[in-house]
A and B are shown apart, each in its own frame.
Chain A
Amino acid sequence: MAQAATEIHHEAHGHDAHAHHGPQGILKYIWSTDHKMIAMQYLFTGMFMGIVGGFMAYVFRMQLAFPGVSVPLFGVVSPGEYNALVTNHGSIMIFWVAMPVLIAAFGNYLIPLMIGADDMVFPRINRLSFQIFLVSVLMILASLFVSGGGFGGAWTSYPPLSAQSQYNLTSIGATMWLIAVALEFVAFLLGGINFIVTLMNARAPGMKAYDIPVVAWMIVIASILFMLSVGPLIAGAIMLLFDQTIGTGFFDPARGGDPILWQHLFWFFGHPEVYVVLLPAVGIVIDIVATFARKKLFGYKIMIFTAVATGVLSFFVWAHHQFIAGIDPRMANIFTVTTLLISVPIAELLFVMIATLYGGNIKLNTPMLWALSFIAEFLIGGVTGIFLGASGADIYLHDTYFVLAHFHYTFFPIAIIGTFAGFTYWFPKMFGKMMDDRLGKIHFWGTIIPFNMIFIPLFVLGLGGQHRRIYNFQNFPELAAMQPFRVLATVSLIIMLLFQLVFFWNCIKSWRGGAKAGRNPWKANTLEWTTESPPPHGNWPRDAMPRVYRGPYEYSVPGREDDYWPQNLPS
Chain B
Amino acid sequence: MLERLVQQASSYAADIDGLILLVLVLVGFWFLLAEGMFFWLIWKFRERPGGRSEYITGKEKHLKRWISIPHALVLVCDVFIIIASVRVWYDVKQHLPQADETIRVTGQQWAWVFTHPGPDGDLDTPDDIQTVDDLYVEVDKTYHFQLESRDVLHSFSVPVFRLKQDAVPGRRITGWFRPTVTGTFDIQCAEICGIGHGVMAGRIHVQDAGTMAQWVTANSSTAAQ
Contact = CB atoms under 8 A, between A and B. Distances in A.
A78 B109 CA distance: 17
B218 interface: no
Contacts of A325: 166, 168
A133 to B, nearest CB: 27
A391 B91 CA distance: 12
A296 B198 contact: no
A333 B193 contact: no
Contacts of B181: none
Interface stretch (A186-194, A231-239, A373-381, A489-497): A373-381
B191 interface: yes
Contacts of B120: none
Interface stretch (B28-36, B97-105, B121-129, B135-143): B28-36
B212 interface: no
B67 A351 contact: yes
A310 to B, nearest CB: 14
B185 A478 contact: yes
Contact of A358 (B15, B56, B75, B82): B56
Interface residues on chain A, size class: 35 or more
Contacts of B162: 395-396
Contact of A160 (B93, B166, B169): B169
Interface in B5-41: 5-6, 15-17, 19-20, 23-24, 26-28, 30-31, 34-35, 37-39, 41
Interface in B144-178: 151-153, 155, 157, 159-160, 162-171, 173
Contacts of A372: 38, 42
A151 to B, nearest CB: 11
Interface string A331-364: 0110011001101100110111011011111111
B81 interface: yes
Nearest to A82: B198
Nearest to A384: B27
Nearest to B80: A340
A218 to B, nearest CB: 18
A360 B89 contact: no
Contacts of B35: 376, 379
A396 B20 contact: yes
Contacts of A358: 41, 45, 54, 56
Contacts of B198: 79, 82, 469-472, 475
A399 B193 CA distance: 13
Interface string A160-200: 11000001110000000000000000000000000000000
Contacts of A68: none
Contact of B85 (A295, A324, A336, A469): A336
B205 to A, nearest CB: 13
B111 interface: no
B152 A343 contact: no
Contact of B34 (A253, A333, A379, A398): A379
Nearest to B156: A324
A27 interface: no
A107 B77 CA distance: 36
A396 B87 contact: no
B220 interface: no
Contacts of A468: 190, 192
A515 to B, nearest CB: 20
Interface string B71-101: 1001100100110111111001110000000
A476 B202 CA distance: 8
A500 interface: no
A158 B153 contact: yes
A478 B186 contact: yes
A50 B190 CA distance: 28
A392 B201 contact: no
Contacts of B223: none
A441 to B, nearest CB: 15
Given A295-B53, A357-B42, A362-B42, A479 B186 contact: yes
A512 B21 CA distance: 54
Contact of B71 (A78, A324, A344, A384): A344
Nearest to A294: B53
Contact of B159 (A340, A478, A556): A478
B210 interface: no
Interface stretch (A11-19, A108-116, A459-467, A503-511): A459-467
A370 to B, nearest CB: 14
A353 to B, nearest CB: 9
A302 B26 CA distance: 25
A228 B93 CA distance: 33
A297 B38 CA distance: 16
A161 B150 CA distance: 12
Interface in B192-213: 192-199, 201, 203
Contacts of B6: 463-465, 478
Contact of A302 (B5, B67, B82, B109): B67
A375 B38 contact: yes
A387 B45 contact: no
Interface string A293-318: 11111111010000000000000000
A227 interface: no
Nearest to B45: A360
Contact of B38 (A354, A387, A391): A354
Contacts of A293: 45, 53
Nearest to A473: B198
A33 to B, nearest CB: 40
A560 to B, nearest CB: 10
B5 A464 contact: yes
Which of B2, B152, B168 has the most C-beta atoms of chain A within 10 angstroms of its own C-beta? B152
A399 B93 contact: no
Contact of B88 (A253, A392, A400): A392
Nearest to A347: B74
Contacts of A82: 198
A346 to B, nearest CB: 9
Contacts of B75: 344
Q: Which 9 A-B pairs have the closest CB atoms?
A: A253-B170, A392-B88, A465-B159, A359-B54, A299-B58, A390-B85, A556-B53, A298-B58, A357-B41
6 contacts: A293-B45, A302-B67, A333-B86, A354-B38, A357-B42, A392-B89
Interface of A: 78-80, 82-83, 152-154, 158-161, 167-169, 253-254, 258-260, 293-300, 302, 324-326, 329-330, 332-333, 336-337, 340-341, 343-344, 347-348, 350-352, 354-355, 357-364, 372, 375-376, 379-380, 383-384, 386-387, 390-393, 395-400, 460, 463-465, 467-472, 475-479, 555-558, 563
Given A167-B194, A379-B34, A472-B198, 12 more contacts: A83-B194, A295-B53, A298-B63, A362-B46, A376-B39, A383-B31, A391-B85, A395-B164, A399-B155, A478-B6, A557-B55, A563-B53
